[in-house]
Every structure is written in structure tokens, then in C-alpha cells.
Amino acid sequence: MGGPNLLNRVFDDTHKLLIGGHRVAAASGRSFETLNPATGEVLAKVAEAGVEDVDAAVRSARAAFEGAWGHMKASERGALLLKLAELIRRDEDELVRLESLDSGKPVSAIRRQDLPAVLDTLTYYAGMADKINGHVIPARPDALTYTVREPLGVVGAIIPWNFPLMIGMWKIAPALACGCTVVLKPAEITPLTALRIGELALEAGFPEGVLNVVPGFGKVAGQALVDHPDVDKVTFTGSPAVGRQILQGAAGNLKRVTLELGGKSANIVFPDADIDAAVKAAGAGIFFNTGQVCSAGSRILVHHSVHDEVVERLAARAQSTRIGDPLEASTAMGPLVSEVQMKRVLDYIEIGLNEGATLVTGGSRRGEAGYFVEPTVFAGVRHEMRISQEEIFGPVAAVLPFQDEEDALRIANGTAYSLAAGVWTGDIGRAHRFTRRLKAGTVWVNTYGPTDIRLPWGGARDSGFGREHGDAAIENFTEPKAVWINTGR
């Protein structure tokens, strides 16, 4: 599928909500437009979920949890996840193009990272579904005491616009494997693949109401999901500001919350590193997905003895990055996701100039159509500058020199974030020593950026709390129950 047939589907009728296994219009009749970031033109109209729609979705999810889904064998849930993976493989071309059109992500990047991660996540948690075990704990000789893990119930999953398919599945797959049901609220500017995944779940045989999709705006649909008394868990990926609002709303019924928020990650290059490899990875670490990555290596800390060499090489990589139509296989960097985000990034570039940083390359909008910004490198950046402290979420690298390990550690740990970091060195002792002292949920050594569903993912402070992936996700969507059976003497 794809090509003209896909475009006709995208541009034709308003994309409706998915509630209780049916595509329905918003109760208010309202809809909104989603734009193609590469052109700025209207891509599709989407039904706008409101409070009434979210309530209907939650009620549907609750009915499924207490009904067909709750009575299904764990192995049957796993089989359905595998069937969904099979359908995604079948419709790979359609999903890749749809994600690219909606988000501006290059098709090459989606095929290389996003889609394989979606399939890996589904197959991993399909295998976990019937292996969520408790333990027999011999507390006393006159009792059989053991634990079981039970699904939390209805999960509200709120996903961002930078990796709609991948992060969406990071939440959907483990929640469903655990036996929960899901109300998914995609970002309003990238809702199309979430709706398509919902359709494929129905085709795979998931009971009605197990996965509901309610596109809408955060202040209405998102807040309604957070506030709803019958939602047992909220899992959110997005900004720290919204994360704080979610915590406040979740207090109403003390629902569980997992937050994966922002980052200002340090990518640290020591003089004994492989400079070629470090510069290549540093460029990918900030320019991949147009810098719209929570773990982007936006602060590149370089030992003063190799600082100028790294800046020169990084600028050359920025200048050679192929920017263009995301649907072209040769495109390496597409547009920012929206005009709002483009203006935010351009404003930060102006802030960097006003703060006295040296603009080495880039710094401008590319063309007049779409939301393209040149890959940008700043040198002469001081630790206290806003471009060193605040998350820009765009293709803007801030290069900071450091003197020694203690200086590098001071700078690396000196922000409000602690999501990720990178260390480049040929000294294995330094690698271990430095990794222990970095405040980060993930530390890459002599690489930057890879993730795997088997490893925990998350941070602390303004990067949020809790962990996704692996066994941690099973804990996110279940709770233990202790069982005590009196056996007498």
C-alpha cells in the first residue's frame, strides 16, 4: 500500500476517533487540521476528542478490561500482539509514508529505526505476556504464602510528536501484554499512525475497547484523561511542564504515573578518544530527527586540546547533511514538526548569538516552504548560557570546552536534566570511573544514541521518573498481590 492510494486516504474524509472498536465522530462535531511539515500544507482533518469522548473511551476500556480482555489467557494476548506485528509488517510501506507525511521524519530513518523498534517491542512483549510470574515465599510453616502480579486496569497513554509510532508502541505493547486496556492520546500534530495502529489492532482480533485512540489537544483531551477517576495509570512522554500538570491531575484518585520528560544530554569527548568516530556520532546525536529527540546530545563537551579540531569537523558534517523532502530515500534531515517548533528553535539560535556564543555554521531557516532549519553549531558556549541549560529540541549543537575530568563532570551534571550522556575515551578505567559519577539514566561509552527494548529507559529530576522497557514496563502496568492461605499445623 502507499503512493496515491495512501494520499487519497489521508486527504479524503475526516479521520474519526477510535472508541469501543468503532470509528466515531467527536461528540462536539469538532475537528482540526494536521499539516505536512515539509510543505506547511493541510494533510488531513482529524476529529477532535473532548471530555465526553475521553469518558466514552475510558468506559469502553473499563468494560473490555472487566469483560473479554480480562478473561483472556495470557498466551492469547501474546498471540494477538504477534498478529498485530504481522499486520504492521504487511503494511510497512503505508505506515512509513504516513509517519513521514505527518511528522516530517525522513523515510530512511523510519525504516532504519522506528519501524524495527515497533516490531521488536511487539514481539518482545508478546513473549512476556505469559511469563509475568509471582513467587512462593515461605513466610511460615502453617501457611502457603505467595505473590501474583495483576494488571492495573485502564491505562491512559499520552505520546509525543517526535516518535509517534515508536513511543506509542513502547506504551501500548507492555500495557496490553500485562492485561491492561489502553486509551491512547496521540499528539494533535501527529495523530495519523496512531489511528491506523488502532485499526490494525481490531483487524488482528483485539476485542473492542482494548485499544482506544482519541486525538485531541492536551489541555482538553489530555487533561480529561489524566483527571478521569476510572483511569488507573497514566504513562506520559513529553515536556517537563506538562509532566508537572499530569502529576497534579493524577492526585485526584492517586493514579500511578510514569513520566519520561526532557533532556539536555552531555556528549563528552576526551583527547584519547577516536575523534573520527566521536564527531560522526556527535553529529548524528544532535541532527538525527532534526534534533527532536529527548536524549539528543545537544551539549558536546570537548577537552580543550582537541576542541578546535572537533568543532571544525562537526561543522563540516553539519554542512554536508542532506536536507530535503522526507519522502526521498537520500534525505538525512527533514523539517521540524511545526511552525511553532521552528520559531522556537530560531528564537534559541538568536538567544545564543545574544549571549555571545560563536555561530560556526547554520543558524537560519532553509527555504520558504515547510519548517526546515539548517544544522547549527555553536562554539564558545559557556556553561551558564541558556543554550547550554535549556532544551531546544532542534538541530542546534552547543560545544563547550573543558579542562579535566572534574571540570567535565561539573558541566555534564550541571543542568536540571538527567536522561542520558555519552563518554568518548580510550581509557577503560576512565570510562568506568566517569560513568559511575554521571547523573543519567543511560550512559553510552564510545557510541551515542542506541536504545533497546530490553534495557530500562528513563531519567530523574526534570527528565521525569520511572523506567520504561524490559522488566520495568511489566512493573509499570501491574501490581503485586500477596496471598496467604492458612494450612493449619
* Amino acid symbol at 10: V
In 3D, which of 110, 163, 111, 159 has the Cα closest to residue 393?
163
Per-position b or e across 249-271, b if 16+ CB within 10 A of its CB: bbeeeebbbbbbbbbbbbbbbbe
Which sign, positive or negative, has the C-alpha torsion 162, 168, 171, 173? negative
356, with CB counted inside 10 A (0-12, 13-18, 19+), is exposed
Set 94, 178, 294, 468: catalytic member: 294
All three cell numbers of 317, joined, read 558534517
Q: State the Cα–Cα distance between residues 455 and 276, nearest whole angstrom.
A: 28
Active-site annotation holds for 294: yes
In the chain, the N- to C-terminal Cα span, in Å, equals 68
Give residue for cell 511487539: 122
What per-residue confidence (pLDDT) applies to 253?
Answer: 86
> What is the C-alpha separation between 468 and 390, in angstroms, rounded?
24
Are the beta carbons of 184 and 159 closer than 8 angstroms? yes
At residue 327, the 3 state secondary structure works out as coil
Determine the Cα–Cα distance for residues 56 and 230; give it in Å rounded to an integer.
Answer: 11
pLDDT of residue 278: 98
- Sequence-distant (≥ 6) Cβ neighbours of residue 254 within 8 angstroms: none
Evaluate whether 243 touches 268 at the Cβ level (below 8 Å). no
Over residues 379-391, the pLDDT tens digits come to: 999 999 999 999 9
Q: Are 474 and 453 a contacting pair, CB within 8 Å?
A: no
The pLDDT score that the predictor gives to residue 2 is 41
pLDDT, one tens digit for every residue, the chain (489 residues): 344 455 555 555 689 999 999 999 999 999 999 999 999 999 999 999 999 999 999 999 999 999 999 999 999 999 999 999 999 999 999 999 999 999 999 999 999 999 999 999 999 999 999 999 999 999 999 999 999 999 999 999 999 999 999 999 999 999 999 999 999 999 999 999 999 999 999 999 999 999 999 999 999 999 999 999 999 999 999 999 999 999 999 988 899 999 999 999 999 999 999 999 999 999 999 999 999 999 999 999 999 999 999 999 999 999 999 999 999 999 999 999 999 999 999 999 999 999 999 999 999 999 999 999 999 999 999 999 999 999 999 999 999 999 999 999 999 999 999 999 999 999 999 999 999 999 999 999 999 999 999 999 999 999 999 999 999 999 999 999 999 999 986
Question: Inter-axis angle of helices 115-128 and 92-103, to 10 degrees?
Answer: 120
- 66-79 residue pLDDT tens: 999 999 999 999 99
Query: Which pLDDT does position 488 carry in this prediction?
Result: 84
Which pLDDT score, from 0 to 100, does residue 1 have?
A: 35
Radius of gyration of the chain (CA): 23
